[in-house]
Chains A and B, each alone.
Chain A
Amino acid sequence: MFMLKYIIRNAFRHKLRSLLTITGVAIAILAFGLLRTLVGLWYLGVESSSSTRLVTRNAISLVFSLPISYKERIRQIPGVSRVGAMNWFGGIYISEKNFFPNFAVEPRAYLDLYPEFLLSQEEQKGFLLDRQGAVVGRKLAAKYGWKLGDRVVLKGTIFPGQWEFIVRGIYRGAQRSTDETQFFFNWDYLNETMRRTIPRRADQVGIFVVGVSNPERAAEVAQAIDSTFKNSLAETMSETEKAFQLSFVAMTEAIMIAIQIVSYVVIVIIMVVAANTMAMTARERISEYATLKTLGFQWHHIAGAVFGESLFIAILGGSVGILGTFPAAAVIEKELSQFFPSFHVATSTTLLQLAAALIVGASSAVFPTWRAATIRIADGLRRIG
């Protein structure tokens, strides 16, 4: 009890110094948490990809399309449960800064293949029946104030023209991590328009999303699909959704590694700063520790006081940092939703932050604790004057 009182009072002995140290630790832990969340989000698409979905694309590049006629042939391959055509639309809403992902999809197949997008029965029906119908994510709808029945116009970039859609559904994610900023509409609307305006681009598909009945046979099914179209004009490359997502992530992996390194560097920097503060604190109190030893307190009492104080300051700063991470993440999610559809701080990140705070507290206490615990009484008392 005495030791706890002594530790707490010592921690606030130099209020400004303690406040600055606590603030420093808090900012470092906050930054660490946000950077770890960012890294986690980058891989979220990979982690949340389904093991029952394959992606089939043109073997040369994603830029090249596949004929819609492939759909039926893929469907006939054993192990395939569902096939849906999909095109990246790349439309712009009012201005280029309003970026959000938008796709042309086959409504029935898409809703079956992506059960994580939750829609009411009425909304599903409305989407299936309306050629110009579009479904938007909850966050996207909230951002632009869209409601059911609203008319939304996108300016085509890959597919030229002004494209008019009617909002028929606003989906919410089944999980906290589900992207709620997507916009998807009926592939037939795209294809029929292409038939009228640029016929050579009609009946072309960006990717096929393929549902497999048994995830354990995914590799076998992918191989069967690619074998089917071997030596054709448009050979295919099929891979699991996870591998498909990873191919995007791999393009920016160097940046992610750099961010991970920075997140650890932040912790190392605050560790050094905290260690310096604790060393300074312990040095100032050497005579006090010598006095306590004179009175009969042993080295482990002194070590406990120094170590406890360092840990107390780090935990206090860490707690402030951890608590601050959530509102900071909410602000980022709100303000930068086009880049981070779900800036959610994972429990594992919070635990990592706590561990980082404890490591900062413990490591910065090592040298001052050893120094204070091993000081000879006579030497310590001599510091007085």
Chain B
Amino acid sequence: MESETGIVTIRNVTKSYRRGSQVVPVLEDISFGIRSGEFLALMGPSGSGKSTLLNLIAGIDKVDSGSISIGGCEITTLSDSELAGWRAVNVGFVFQFYNLIPVLTAYENVELPLLLTRLTRRERREHVEAALDIVSLSDRMDHRPSQLSGGQQQRVAIARAVVTDPAILVADEPTGDLDRVSAGEILSLMDHLVRDFQKTIIMVTHDPRAAEKAHVIRHLEKGLLTDG
């Protein structure tokens, strides 16, 4: 067992899906740890289970067996409602297709996670402006997603992910829908978050160039970790 004292500790995690009457195993006996401030890349071919593992760590899917402890909290025992509250505080999400709400402006999209907190309107504004400043989009806060480029939308998504100051960021193919230049900017931004804000990032990627930015690379194949 690696990094027993890390921010993320995964022990003997198994996950399978039902397809009709068939049970399809996705992850088998996965155990590893992630240290605080680490930038980890999960790589592997399509269907290897890397997105499923990311979802389990982020608390948006449930394990069949095993345990996942994040910052000392055993998330596999939490109810759906408790998990929702836990996610809002502890995890920031970055998706391949940005997943911004089209009817909201960049500012409003970044503000979304803060609406679940007790912050005042003024405090929320301060947080949102700070987050947009980190991603260098303060001048675009009143733009809707359709008025932004792909790279800019992903930066808004990153601002939304960090606005609550979570310890962990999970990113599922964050550069998968971007051109090379924009992808480079996003990776630099993520690197900046790890170095200057001590965030722990877990990133699923197919892109070896993206993985190069990570401190640690884990490979999954057919639901098994292939590198220890």
> Which A positions have Cβ atoms within 8 angstroms of B?
2, 5-6, 9-10, 13, 287-288, 291-299, 376-378, 381, 384-385
Binary flags per residue of B23-61, CB closer than 8 Å to A gives 1, else 0? 000000000000000000000000000001001001011
A295-B112, A296-B116, A378-B60 are known contacts. Are A288 and B99 too (CB-CB below 8 A)?
yes
Contact across chains for B99 and A13 when beta carbons are under 8 A apart: no
Contact across chains for A377 and B95 when beta carbons are under 8 A apart: no
The stretch from B81-89, B186-194, B206-214 touching chain A is B81-89
Please give, as numbers and ranges, the residues of chain A lying within 8 Å of B116 by CB-CB distance. Answer: 295-297
B66 CB within 8 Å of chain A: no
Please give, as numbers and ranges, the residues of chain A lying within 8 Å of B104 by CB-CB distance. Answer: 6, 9
13 contacts between A and B (CB under 8 A): A6-B104, A13-B102, A288-B102, A291-B93, A291-B101, A293-B84, A294-B99, A296-B113, A297-B116, A298-B84, A299-B80, A376-B61, A381-B60
CB distance from B109 to the nearest CB of A (A): 10
B1 CB within 8 Å of chain A: no
A9-B104, A291-B101, A378-B60 are known contacts. Are A384 and B88 too (CB-CB below 8 A)?
no
CA distance A299 to B84 in the complex (A): 10
Please give, as numbers and ranges, the residues of chain B lying within 8 Å of A287 by CB-CB distance. Answer: 99
Residue of B nearest to A382 (CB): B51
Please give, as numbers and ranges, the residues of chain A lying within 8 Å of B101 by CB-CB distance. Answer: 6, 288, 291-292
Contact across chains for A377 and B81 when beta carbons are under 8 A apart: no
CB distance from B48 to the nearest CB of A (A): 16
CA distance A287 to B102 in the complex (A): 12
Residue of A nearest to B115 (CB): A2
CB distance from B117 to the nearest CB of A (A): 9
CA distance A293 to B112 in the complex (A): 11
Which of B52, B81, B93, B96 is the one whose CB lies under 8 Å from A294? B93
CA distance A279 to B89 in the complex (A): 32
Contact across chains for A296 and B88 when beta carbons are under 8 A apart: yes
Contact across chains for A296 and B102 when beta carbons are under 8 A apart: no
18 new A-B contacts at CB < 8 Å, known A6-B104, A376-B61 = A2-B108, A6-B103, A10-B103, A13-B102, A287-B99, A288-B99, A288-B101, A291-B95, A293-B84, A296-B84, A296-B85, A296-B89, A297-B116, A378-B52, A381-B95, A384-B97, A384-B99, A385-B97
Contact across chains for A377 and B61 when beta carbons are under 8 A apart: yes
> Which B positions have Cβ atoms within 8 angstroms of A?
52, 55, 58, 60-61, 80-81, 84-85, 87-89, 93, 95-97, 99, 101-104, 108, 112-113, 115-116, 160
Contact across chains for B97 and A295 when beta carbons are under 8 A apart: no
A293-B84, A384-B95 are known contacts. Are A377 and B103 too (CB-CB below 8 A)?
no
Number of CB contacts from chain A to chain B under 8 A: 65
Residue of B nearest to A287 (CB): B99
Please give, as numbers and ranges, the residues of chain A lying within 8 Å of B87 by CB-CB distance. Answer: 294-296
Q: Is the interface of B mostly helix, strand, loop or mixed?
A: helix
Please give, as numbers and ranges, the residues of chain A lying within 8 Å of B97 by CB-CB distance. Answer: 384-385
Please give, as numbers and ranges, the residues of chain A lying within 8 Å of B99 by CB-CB distance. Answer: 287-288, 291, 294, 381, 384
Residue of B nearest to A293 (CB): B84
Contact across chains for A292 and B112 when beta carbons are under 8 A apart: yes
CB distance from B62 to the nearest CB of A (A): 9
Residue with the greatest number of chain A CB neighbours at <10 A, chosen from B60, B96, B108, B160: B60
A294-B87, A378-B60, A384-B97 are known contacts. Are A13 and B115 too (CB-CB below 8 A)?
no
Which of B60, B61, B103 is the one whose CB lies under 8 Å from A9? B103
Contact across chains for B61 and A378 when beta carbons are under 8 A apart: yes
CB distance from B85 to the nearest CB of A (A): 6
Contact across chains for A295 and B95 when beta carbons are under 8 A apart: no
CB distance from B52 to the nearest CB of A (A): 8
Residue with the greatest number of chain B CB neighbours at <10 A, chosen from A293, A376, A377: A377
Contact across chains for B115 and A377 when beta carbons are under 8 A apart: no
CA distance A378 to B96 in the complex (A): 14
A6-B103, A291-B101, A297-B116 are known contacts. Are A378 and B88 too (CB-CB below 8 A)?
no
CB distance from A354 to the nearest CB of B (A): 28
CB distance from B127 to the nearest CB of A (A): 14
CB distance from B59 to the nearest CB of A (A): 9
CA distance A299 to B85 in the complex (A): 12
CA distance A287 to B104 in the complex (A): 15
Which of B55, B84, B102, B112 is the one whose CB lies under 8 Å from A378? B55
Please give, as numbers and ranges, the residues of chain A lying within 8 Å of B89 by CB-CB distance. Answer: 296
Please give, as numbers and ranges, the residues of chain A lying within 8 Å of B61 by CB-CB distance. Answer: 376-378
Please give, as numbers and ranges, the residues of chain B lying within 8 Å of A297 by CB-CB distance. Answer: 84, 116
CB distance from B178 to the nearest CB of A (A): 14
Residue of B nearest to A385 (CB): B97
Contact across chains for B96 and A384 when beta carbons are under 8 A apart: yes
Please give, as numbers and ranges, the residues of chain B lying within 8 Å of A6 by CB-CB distance. Answer: 101, 103-104
A377-B60, A378-B55, A378-B61 are known contacts. Are A295 and B103 too (CB-CB below 8 A)?
no
